[in-house]
Structure 1
Amino acid sequence: MSFVRPDIIRPPSEHASYYLPLTSGCSNNSCTFCAFSFTHLGIRDLDDVKREIDAMALYANSRMWTAGQPDIVYAILRQWDRERVFLQDGDALVYPYPLLMEVLQYLNGKFPALERIASYATPQDILRRSVQELRALREQKLGILYMGVESGDDDVLKKIRKNASHDQMVEAAKKVKASGILLSVTVILGLGGVAGSGKHALETARILTEMDPDYAGALTLTLIPETELYKEWESGAFEMITPFDSLRELKTMVEHSTFSNCFFSSMHASNYFSIRGSMPKDKGKVLRQLQALLSRKDPNMLRPEFMRGL
Structure 2
Amino acid sequence: MGEGKFKRPEIIRPPSEWRSYYLPVTSGCSNHTCTFCNYYGKKLRLRPKEEVKEEIDALYMFKRHNVVLPGIDPLVYYLAMEWDCKRVFLQDGDALVYPYEDLLEVLRYLNEKFPEVERISCYATPQDLLRRTVGQLRALREQKLSLLYVGLESGSDEILQKVRKGVKAQDMIEASRKAKEAGIALSVTVILGLGGVDKSEEHAFETARVLSLMDPEYAAALTLMFVPGTPLYEDWKKGAFKPIDPFQSLRELRIIVENVNFSHCFFSSMHASNYVAIRGWLPEEKERMLKHLDALIERGDPSLLRPEYMRAL
Could you say whether these structures have the same fold, taking a TM-score greater than 0.5 normalized by the shorter chain as the test? yes
Q: Counterpart amino acid of 1:272?
A: Y
User: Aligned partners of 2:214 and 2:27: how far apart in 1?
Assistant: 27
Matching residue of 2:288: 285
Matching residue of 1:276: 279
User: Aligned partners of 1:66 and 1:87: how far apart in 2?
Assistant: 22
User: Aligned partners of 2:128 and 2:70: how far apart in 1?
Assistant: 35
User: Aligned partners of 2:190 and 2:158: how far apart in 1?
Assistant: 15
Q: Does 1:223 align with 2:226?
A: yes
Matching residue of 1:167: 170
User: Aligned partners of 2:243 and 2:158: how far apart in 1?
Assistant: 17
Among 132, 138, 146, the residue aligned to 1:135:
138
User: Aligned partners of 2:41 and 2:67: how far apart in 1?
Assistant: 37
Question: 5 Å matches for 1:1-310?
Answer: 1-310=4-313
Q: Counterpart amino acid of 2:271?
A: H
Q: Counterpart amino acid of 2:308?
A: E
TM-fit CA distance, 1:169: 0.3
Q: Counterpart amino acid of 1:103?
A: V
- 3-state SS of the aligned residue for 1:127? helix
User: Aligned partners of 1:232 and 1:275: how far apart in 2?
Assistant: 30
TM-score, normalised relative to structure 1 = 0.99
TM-fit CA distance, 1:132: 1.0
User: Aligned partners of 1:33 and 1:75: how far apart in 2?
Assistant: 32
Q: Counterpart amino acid of 1:82?
A: C
Structure 2 alignment gaps of length 5 or more = none
Identity of matched residues, %? 58
Q: Counterpart amino acid of 1:184?
A: S
Superposed CA deviations along residues 245-303 of structure 1, whole A, max 9, x for unmatched, are 00000000011110000000000000000110101000011011111111110111101
- 3-state SS of the aligned residue for 1:278? strand
TM-fit CA distance, 1:38: 3.0
Q: Counterpart amino acid of 2:306?
A: R
Q: Counterpart amino acid of 1:240?
A: P
Aligned residue pairs, count: 310
TM-fit CA distance, 1:226: 1.4
RMSD: 0.6
User: Aligned partners of 1:38 and 1:167: how far apart in 2?
Assistant: 26
TM-fit CA distance, 1:64: 1.2
- 3-state SS of the aligned residue for 2:40? helix
State the 4+ residue runs in structure 1 displaced beyond 6 angstroms.
Answer: none
- 3-state SS of the aligned residue for 1:270? coil
User: Aligned partners of 2:75 and 2:162: how far apart in 1?
Assistant: 37
TM-fit CA distance, 1:109: 0.3
User: Aligned partners of 1:243 and 1:32: how far apart in 2?
Assistant: 21
- 3-state SS of the aligned residue for 1:29? coil
Structure 1 alignment gaps of length 5 or more = none
Superposed CA deviations along residues 60-110 of structure 1, whole A, max 9, x for unmatched, are 011211111111111111121210000000110000000000000000000
Of 74-83 and 184-193, deviating more is 74-83
User: Aligned partners of 1:132 and 1:185: how far apart in 2?
Assistant: 22
TM-fit CA distance, 1:212: 0.2
Q: Counterpart amino acid of 2:146?
A: G
